[in-house]
Each structure stands twice: as structure tokens, then as C-alpha cells.
Amino acid sequence: MVLDNLAKSLRDTLKKITRSSLIDEKLIDEIVREMQRSLLMADVDVSLTLELTGRVERRAKEEPVPQNSNPRNHLIKIIYEELLKILGKPREFHIKPATVMLVGLYGQGKTTSAGKLAKFYLKHGYKVVLIAADTQRLGAYEQLQQVAQNVGADFFGIYGEKSSLRIVKEGLSRHKDWDVKIIDTSGRNAIDNALTKEITDISNLANPEETILVLDASVGQQAGKQAKAFHDAVKITGVLISKLDGTAKGGGALSAVTATGAPILFIGVGEHMDDLEYFNSARFLSRLLGMGDFETLMAAAKEMQSAFDDESIEKMTKGKFTLKEMYDLWDQMSKPGLFKKLFDSLPLAKMQPKEMDDSFFTDSEDKIRRYKIIMDSMSYYELENPEEIKGSRIDRIAKGAGVDSSEVKGLLRDYKRMKDMVKNLRGNRKILSMMKKQMQGNVPENLEDLANQ
Ligand SMILES: Nc1nc2c(ncn2[C@@H]2O[C@H](COP(=O)(O)OP(=O)(O)O)[C@@H](O)[C@H]2O)c(=O)[nH]1
Ligand SMILES: [Mg+2]
């Protein structure tokens, strides 16, 4: 995954939020500091970072939490929205017949990207020709020819020809019937007059629908300066950020380009011809933040909400707590994994003793399943009056459930323990109100819903 470190640290920050029992100023300050660290490490410009986190802090502290949300979700929503701002609004790229010109400095990934784009168009059933207009670099002709062969596109070049303009003129006139013509142009070490003149001349001649600037993500914030300079020289319609795989500086490149107002159209995420992706800022951010994980968490919260709705809590804490109540509670909680998810995301997690590791939860789930089988062979009277279950009743139940009587005894022991716990809970209104608070507020289906709340 691209921007691994940034992704990990932002996810940790979100996790911290979802696991906090209280969203207070102290937590917000902590979150803001964490975000600053993560963004700076990903090479995002200092003032951009401070602006962003300043907005997060202000909004988190000042904005009232909407009725249909809760402080936790509201904070996550603010973070999501502010991060999205620095990734910019995507420009939708339409796949249709076009002349596409690629520009950029040496080694940025123009030729490779030309092949990737060709493959993109080919997949849509278009007839594609790659035109080799790089007359500067040694071996540029062969490289593009090779790339074209790789992806199955047609190739045009004039070996040894020094005038890129002549190549383009010839190439376009010979391929009038091709849907897509992709022009791979020369780079330079820096934007100079020669490069500016060369690409302006080609642009005037070819009149391309798309002029795409290819920028290597590893140049980081410098990408912004390059984007601006190229835009001044020849009107670019969008940017392709290459090599976003394996560079920690990607955050700098993405945010700096966005800051210039140039839309990012594609990202290159590897050396292979398939390693090209449309850039959609919302989708990119969701993936970065682990929207999948987030959805899981939200789904778990929803399930918890029903397992711990007011009625269940009332039932649990008021009146008699019999085996029947325990059965109902376990019935709701016996969905696979729910136990663990529940403990992970509840504020109670902080009180979670060390021995409650993963095996505790899987063991618990397994145990609940077995206990439910045992309870299924109890009579209604026994479920309501567990203290009456003794002697021959135990043997009868064990036989009915196909278990050893020691397991029935174990169940009764656990029931007594749980009953005591519930008794304690009754006396501890603080935990109870914390649990209730935790369960209140709408749980959104996913991040986008959350953002729309
Ligand atoms: N890892 C990775 N390497 C890339 C990507 N795009 C291009 N490259 C590599 O970058 C180097 C320069 O690419 P090239 O297309 O020749 O750059 P050009 O001089 O702008 O035409 C080559 O070794 C490519 O394989 C990418 O998205 N990811
Ligand atoms: Mg090249």
C-alpha cells in the first residue's frame, strides 16, 4: 500500500479516538499533535500541516456536536473532511478517443506511464498508438517500442530523427484512424527554454485533449514547484504522480500539487504496466484511513448497540437475573467475533485485564456456544429458577445436551459469577451510564455517511 507509514499513524489516531471514553480538550490536543507528526513525516509542508491541524483543533473544540452524531464520530468526521481538503477535488477523467501528451522532467516516469495509459485505453477497446517524440534521451525510441510491444499498442517513431515536431506531425498524420494517440515527449534536468519551446511547439501542432504532467512522488514538495512551472509553460490538464509506491514523501507530492490547483488524475503505484490507478481523493483517503477496518468497527458498534440497548441493560440490571436473562444476553452476544470487537471498542477496554487476550475471546465464544446447548436442554422452570438445579437434574440436563455433568456445574458456577457481576453493576451507576452513553448516537454505515452526517 502506498504511504504505509502515514496510513498506519493516521489509523492509530482514529483508533485512539474510537477507543476513548471521553473526547475532551486533552484528547483533542493529543490527536492534533499526533496528526502533525504523521503529516510532517509524510513530507507535507509545515504551514499546510499547521493550517490543517489548526482547523481540526478549532472545529473539534468549538463546533457543537450535531444531534444525530456523538463527540467521537464528530471528531473523526472533522479529521476526514480536513484531510480531504489537502487532497483536493478530483477531476473526473473520461476515457474517450483523444490525443494525450505526456510531459515532465527526466526520469519522472513518462515513458512507463505512456505504456500504462495505453493499456488503460486498450482495455476499454480503443485502438492506441504510442508516438516516440523523445529525441533527447539515448534509447528512448527502443524503450517506448518495447513498452508498446508489452501492452499490445501500436508504435510510431523515426529512428535517429532529431526533430520531435517532425515525428509528431508524421505520427499523427499516419494514425488518423487511431482512437488514442499518446505522445511521449523529451524531458530535461530542469525546465529551461529549450524544453518549454519543444513542448509548446508540439502542443500547438497536436492540439492534445489531455496534457498530462508526470511527476515522481519521491521529489516530495518540489512536485508543487514543478507543477506550477509546467503549468505556466504549457497548459496542463492534469497530473500523474508516479512512483507513489515506496516513498514516504508521497504526502508532500500530493498535497503540494493540490495546492497549485492542478488536478491529480492518476497515480503510478509500481513498475508494471498495470500499476496505474485513477486518483479519487475521497476513495484514496478512505483507503488510507482503512475505511474497511472502520466499517467493521462501526458495524460492531451497531451490533453492540442492539445487544446493549436500553431494554437489555434494564433487564440485566433490574429485577431478577436468571439463567433466562443470561441466555438472552448470550444469544445476542454469541455472534462470532462480537465479543472481542465489543471489548476492543468499549471504554471498558481500558479496564480489560491482561489475561483477556485473543484466546480469552475465542474461548468465550466457544464456551457460550456450548453453554447455550446445555441451556437448551433445561426446562423453562429451571431457567427461571437456576438455584433449583441440583443432583439428578444436573445429570438429566447433561445427558440431554450430550455433555459431562461437570460442564453443567461449570455453567452454573459461571452463572453465579455473572449474577454477582450484575449485582455490582447495579450498584455502579457510573459504569452503567458510561455504557449507555457509549451506545447512544447514530452509528454511521461508513466513512462517507459519517462525512455526510
Ligand atoms: N516503482 C515505480 N517505478 C516507476 C513508476 N513509474 C516509473 N517507474 C520507473 O522509473 C524509471 C524512469 O521511468 P521512465 O518512464 O523511463 O521515465 P521518463 O524519463 O520520464 O520517461 C523507470 O525505471 C521506471 O520503471 C512507478 O509508478 N513506480
Ligand atoms: Mg522517457
Pick from 141, 271, 275, 278 the residue to mutate for probing ligand 1's pocket: most ligand atoms within 8 Å of its CB.
271
The cell for 94 is 473520461
Average pLDDT over residues 329-337: 61
pLDDT tens across 85-114, in order?
999 887 888 899 999 999 999 999 999 999
- Compute the distance between CA of residue 383 and CA of residue 412 in angstroms, rounded to an integer: 11
Residue nearest to atom 1 of ligand 1 (CA): 270
Ligand 1 pocket: which residues have CB below 6 Å? Answer: 104, 106-112, 187, 214, 242-243, 245, 268-271, 275
Name which of 36-40, 216-220, 424-428 the model is least confident about: 424-428
Task: Give the right CATH number for 291-448 from 1.10.260.30, 3.40.640.10, 3.30.70.20, 3.30.2010.30.
Answer: 1.10.260.30
Q: Can you identify the CATH homologous superfamily of domain 4-87?
A: SRP54, nucleotide-binding domain (1.20.120.140)
Q: Which residue has the higher pLDDT, 280 or 307?
A: 280
| pLDDT given for residue 282 in this prediction | 81
Q: Which atom of ligand 1 is nearest to the CA of 276?
A: 27
176: pLDDT confidence band, cut at 50, 70 and 90? very high
Tell me what pLDDT residue 213 has.
97
Q: 288 vs 151, 221, 425, CA distance in Å?
A: 30, 19, 40
Of 121-125, 243-247, 249-253, 436-440, which gets the smallest average pLDDT? 436-440
| Residue 340: band (very low, low, confident or very high) from pLDDT cuts 50, 70, 90 | low
pLDDT score, position 18: 80
- Residue 331 scores a pLDDT above 70: no
In tens, the pLDDT along 68-89 reads: 778 888 898 899 889 999 998 8
What are the residue ranges spanned by the domains of the chain? 4-87, 98-283, 291-448
* Separation of alpha carbons 170 and 327, rounded Å: 80
**Residue pLDDT, tens place only, 7-31:** 999 989 988 888 787 899 999 999 9
Q: Identify which has the larger pLDDT, 437 or 163.
A: 163
Distances in Å between the alpha carbon of 295 and those of 299, 341, 437, 442? 6, 12, 20, 14
Q: Categorize the per-residue pLDDT at 352 as very low, low, confident or very high, splitting at 50, 70 and 90.
A: very low
Higher pLDDT, 444 or 277: 277
Q: What separation in angstroms does the CA of 379 have from each of 208, 228, 393?
A: 80, 78, 10
Mean pLDDT, range 127-141, rounded to an integer: 96
Arithmetic mean of pLDDT over the chain: 84
Cell numbers 453465579: residue: 416
pLDDT for res 366: 73
**How far is the centre of ligand 2, averaged over its atoms, from the C-alpha of 116 (Å)?**
13
Supply φ then ψ for residue 17, to 5 degrees.
Answer: -65, -45
> What angle, rounded to 10 degrees, do the helices at 323-333 and 310-317 form?
150
pLDDT value for 239? 96
Closest ligand 1 atom, residue 134 Cα:
21
Answer whether residue 303 shows pLDDT above 60: no
Three-state DSSP string of the chain: CCCHHHHHHHHHHHHHHHHCCCCCHHHHHHHHHHHHHHHHHCCCCHHHHHHHHHHHHHHHHHCCCCCCCCHHHHHHHHHHHHHHHHHCCCCCCCCCCEEEEEECCCCCCHHHHHHHHHHHHHHCCCCEEEEEECCCCCCHHHHHHHHHHHHCCEEECCCCCCCHHHHHHHHHHHCCCCCEEEEEECCCCCCCHHHHHHHHHHHHHHCCCEEEEEEEHHHCCHHHHHHHHHHHHCCCCEEEEECCCCCCCHHHHHHHHHHHCCCEEEEECCCCCCCEEECCHHHHHHHHCCHHHHHHHHHHHHHHHHHCCHHHHHHHHCCCCCHHHHHHHHHHHCCCCHHHHHHHHCHHHHHCCCCCCHHHHHHHHHHHHHHHHHHHCCCHHHHHCHHHCCHHHHHHHHHHHCCCHHHHHHHHHHHHHHHHHHHHHHHCHHHHHHHHHHHCCCCCCCHHHHHHC
Common-topology check for domains 4-87 and 98-283: no
Give the predicted TM-score (pTM) of the model.
0.69
Q: Is the pLDDT of residue 344 over 90?
A: no
Q: What is the pLDDT of residues 354-382, one digit of tens each?
A: 444 555 555 666 777 788 888 888 888 88
CA torsion angle 133 138 140 143 (round to 10): 170
CA-closest candidate to residue 240, choices 221, 209, 275, 268 = 268
Q: Distance of CA 189 to CAs 113, 167, 238, 261, 301, Å?
A: 19, 22, 21, 24, 54
Q: Which residue has the higher pLDDT, 410 or 330?
A: 410
Predicted local distance difference test score (pLDDT) of residue 448: 46
Going from the Cα of 283 to the center of ligand 2, the distance in angstroms, rounded, reads 30
| Residue 44 grid coordinates | 507535507
In this model, does residue 40 exceed pLDDT 90?
yes
**Is the pLDDT assigned to residue 60 strictly greater than 50?**
yes
- Provide CATH code, domain 98-283: 3.40.50.300
Nearest bound ligand to the CA of residue 243: 1
Residue nearest to atom 6 of ligand 1 (CA): 109
Exposed/middle/buried for residue 77 (C-beta within 10 Å: 0-12, 13-18, 19+): buried
Residue 443's pLDDT is 45
Give the whole-angstrom CA distance, residue 389 versus residue 166. Answer: 97
Q: What pLDDT, on a 0 to 100 scale, did the predictor assign at position 291?
A: 63
**How confident is the model over 325-331, as a mean pLDDT?**
71
Spacing, Cα 3 to ligand 2 middle (Å): 25
Per-residue pLDDT band at 441 (split at 50, 70, 90): very low
